[in-house]
Amino acid sequence: MVEKNDPTDEFASWKDVAYSNMVQNEALLRLLIQKGIITKEEFEEESETVHQIMQDQMAK
């Protein structure tokens, strides 16, 4: 995450945190695919599995 230089802004907004996480996750995913560690299809399948598990847990 890009650090802010304003000392009065101690905490990043949730929007900044979410954006930073998204960028970092995308970068990590691209590296894993480029290095042949996983395929895009494997990632998509696992993402769907995790999504479904989380949806099921939230419904309880």
Query: pLDDT tens across 5-53, in order?
Result: 655 556 679 899 999 999 999 999 999 999 999 999 999 999 999 999 9
Q: Is residue 8 part of a domain?
A: no
Q: Is residue 21 included in any domain, yes or no?
A: yes
| pLDDT of 3 above 80 | no
Question: pTM for the full model?
Answer: 0.68
Q: Is residue 5 part of a domain?
A: no
Domain membership flag for residue 6: no
**pLDDT value of position 12:** 76
SS3 content of the chain, % helix, strand, coil (to 5): 70, 0, 30
Half-sphere CA count of 45, side-chain side, radius 13 A: 5
Examine residue 2 and state whether it is found in any structural domain, yes or no.
Answer: no
Q: How many Å apart are CA 3 and CA 9, to the nearest integer?
A: 10
Domain assignment of residue 36, given as a range:
14-59
Q: For residue 20, is it within any domain?
A: yes
